[in-house]
Chain A
Amino acid sequence: MSNNVEKTSESVRPDTGLFPPVNVVEDANGITLFADLAGVPKDKLGLQVEADTLTIEGEVSFAMPEGMESLHAEVSLPRYRRAFTLSKELDTEKVAAEFVNGVLTLRIPKAAHAQPRKIEIRVD
């Protein structure tokens, strides 16, 4: 019984994280997402697409002198985490990611069949 409780709390905890601010821009060919993930080194950034969910995760890691006592922390958790529900016309096989100076840029193109097509309106 107590074992069960422990398992639950462990499975909940990795989900808690800071909410990185994002901008999402859509144009005719796809979607671009920008996320602020300051303090995340490149090798601690995790991107995952599972079914229709895009998850962005990052571990905050920066140099701190030994024995430093924290007096004030606005970045109060060592992790960022945010998930987005994608729509099915997006081609998740062709996602391109760039991560520079703590800013993630994700480009998700629309599938070829979902590219805009002008529909002629006929008036009889």
Chain B
Amino acid sequence: MYYRTFFPRDIIAELDRLQRDMQQAYDPSIRGGLRGGFPALNVGSTPQSVEIYAFAPGVDPAAIDVQIEKGVLTVAGERTLPALPEKATLHIDERFAGRFRRVVTLPDDIDPNNASAKYRDGVLHISIARKETAVPRRISIQ
């Protein structure tokens, strides 16, 4: 019985993954690679805020620890997966299990006291406001 198949239709996604893996091998981050960790991170910016999305499906939001210290955001926690029932076979084992910690260096102009975090559909969304003075202001010419 073959539960694993090769997915010819997903070859583009596979090539993309391969390319990213190779890139990381040549240019790794000091903390061991930016990509491929759990949770996956997307980071965005607006003139008023910095937005971080941590893709952490199946994690109890109460068990996630979010901290901002010295301009560094840390998202840490643990994901436990259901125990394998007795006499069961694990055919594919790709999902992350165990403790996780990811770190993002924030820009200088953020206000650590003005941050919010929401968890929805397995995504932790952290929004950190920029300091008032950092918001660009238009100066009218008289």
Contact = CB atoms under 8 A, between A and B. Distances in A.
Given A38-B57, A63-B125, A101-B57, A18 B13 contact: yes
**Most chain A CB inside 10 Å of its own CB: which residue of B5, B10, B35, B48:** B10
B123 A81 contact: no
A87 interface: yes
Contacts of A100: 58
Contact of A70 (B42, B81, B93): B42
A23 B90 CA distance: 7
Given A72-B41, A72-B42, A39 B122 contact: yes
Given A75-B40, A101-B58, A40 B121 contact: yes
A68 B46 contact: yes
Given A23-B95, A34-B95, A65-B49, A15 B10 contact: yes
**Most chain B CB inside 10 Å of its own CB: which residue of A16, A31, A36, A69:** A36
Contact of A62 (B2, B7, B125): B125
A103 B125 CA distance: 17
Classify chain B's interface size.
35 or more
Interface of B: 1-3, 5, 7, 9-10, 12-14, 16-17, 34-36, 39-49, 51, 53, 55-59, 81-82, 84-85, 87-96, 119-123, 125, 127
Interface of A: 12, 15-19, 21-28, 31, 34, 36-42, 62-77, 81-85, 87, 100-103
